[in-house]
Structure 1
C-alpha cells in the first residue's frame, strides 16, 4: 500500500497486469522477450528487436549501462547484428561470431546494430547467465519486473524512478548505478543499496517485485 505522501514525493505508475504466458513485450513495442528453460533447468531469454521500429534502428531498444555482480552473461546471435559496450570496448556480433561473453563485474549495455545489418533484419538472440540459479541473480522474475515497470512508466507518462530501478536491480544482483568510467564495484553496490533499499523500499515504499508483472509461472 503506497501512502499519498510517498506518491507525492516520487510519482509511480499503476502496475498493469500482464497476460499469463512465456512472452512479454517491452515499451513502445521495440522488442519481444521469450522466457525459455533448457532441459537442465537453465533459464534463457530469447529477444527479438524489431528492425522496423525507429528506436531499434537508433540503437535505443537495449537496457541502460549495468553490471552483473556475480554472474557471467552470454549472448548468442541468431539473426541480425548485436552491438555491445563491454568495459572500455565496443564489439559487434552476428551469428557467425560465436558466443559473446560479458564477465561478471564488467559494465556493459547492448543494442541492435543497424550499421552492419545490411538486410535490415530483426535482431534475434539468446541470452543467459552463469552460474544459475543464483539469488540474487538474473532470472525471469527480474526481467518481468524491470520490463513491466519501464513499460508502465512509458505508457503512463511517468519518469522512471532511479530508486525503483535501483531496488529492482538489487533483487537480481544487477547494478544500474553505473557510470561509463571505472568505479570499484563495492562503491557502486553501496550507493545502489542506499538508493534502492533505504530510500526506495523503506522510505518511498517501492517493491522489488510486483504480482501484476509476475502472474505467469516463474522458476
Structure 2
C-alpha cells in the first residue's frame, strides 16, 4: 500500500501477512530513472535493494539510501524481516517535466487497479509508455548501454504503445489537476 505524504514523497507499506511480500516479490521489477536520483528512508522493517548487481538489506538505522540517476535497481521487503516494511521514497529533482512524480504514480497504480477490477491483465505496452513518460524504464538483469535501452523503450512506448495501440502517456481520471488561478 502506498500513500502520498507530501509533494514528491511517498510512504509505502509492504504488509508481512501478504504472501507476495513474504516471498520477496513485493517491489517493482528492475528499472532505471535516468533523470532523477531516488531516495529511500526506512521507518520499520528491512528493505532489500538490488543496486547495480549488489543486494543491500537496510533498516531505519542506515539512514537515507541513495540510488543515483541511471542506476539499475529494484526494492522489496527483505526476507530477513518478520514485520511490515514501511518506508518513504522520493526522487529529486522534482521540478522537471516527465519525472517520477505523484501524477506518474497515480496513472501507474490507477491503471493497474482498474485492470484488476475488470479482471484483465495490464498491457505491458501501456506500462512501458507510462514509465517512459516519467523518465523511468524497465531493464533486463544484464548490462546494456543506457542509450540502447532508452532507444528500445522509446520504440516500445511511442511507436507501438502510443502510435499503433493508441495508449496515452497519462489519463485525466488518474491525474491530479493542477491548481489554476482565475482573474476577475
**TM-score with structure 2 length normalisation?**
0.91
Corresponding residue of 2:182: none
1:180 aligns with 2:141: yes
Which residue in 2 is equivalent to 1:81? 46
- Structure 1 stretches of 4+ moved >3 Å: 216-219
Out of 169, 174, 178, which is 1:208 matched to? 169
Give the drift of 1:59. 1.5
Match of 2:4 in 1: 35
Aligned with residue 126 of structure 1, among 80, 88, 92? 88
Alpha-carbon distance between aligned partners in 2 of 1:168 and 1:130, rounded to the nearest angstrom: 19
Instruction: Give distance in 1, aligned partners of 2:77 and 2:177.
Output: 29
Structure 1 gap segments, 5+ residues each:
1-31
Matched with 2:80 is 116
SS in 1 for 2:140: coil
1:162, 1:170 → 2: CA distance? 12
CA drift of 1:202 comes to: 1.1
Q: How many residues end up aligned between the 2 structures?
A: 179
Q: CA deviation at 1:33?
A: 1.2
3-state SS in 2 of match to 1:56: helix
Aligned CA RMSD, in angstroms, stands at: 1.5
**Contact 1:140/1:218 (CA < 8 Å) preserved in 2?**
no
CA contact (8 A) 1:141 1:218 kept: no
Separation in structure 1 between the aligned mates of residue 94 and residue 103 of structure 2, nearest angstrom: 13
Q: Which has the higher contact order (CA 8 A, sep 6+)?
A: 1
Q: Distance in 2 between matches of 1:202 and 1:63?
A: 26
Q: Which residue pairs with 2:119 in the alignment?
A: 157
Residue number among 15, 39, 43 corresponding to 1:50 in the alignment: 15
Deviation per residue, 1:2-30 (Å, 9 max, x gap): xxxxxxxxxxxxxxxxxxxxxxxxxxxxx
With normalisation by structure 1, the TM-score equals 0.77
Could you give the per-residue CA deviations for residues 128-166 of structure 1, whole angstroms, max 9, x where no partner exists?
111122211110010111112222333333232221111
What whole-Å deviation, never above 9, does each CA across 1:19-70 have from its counterpart, x for those lacking one? xxxxxxxxxxxxx211122xxxx51011011111111111122111110001
Per the TM alignment, residue 217 of structure 1 is displaced from its structure 2 partner at its CA by 4.9
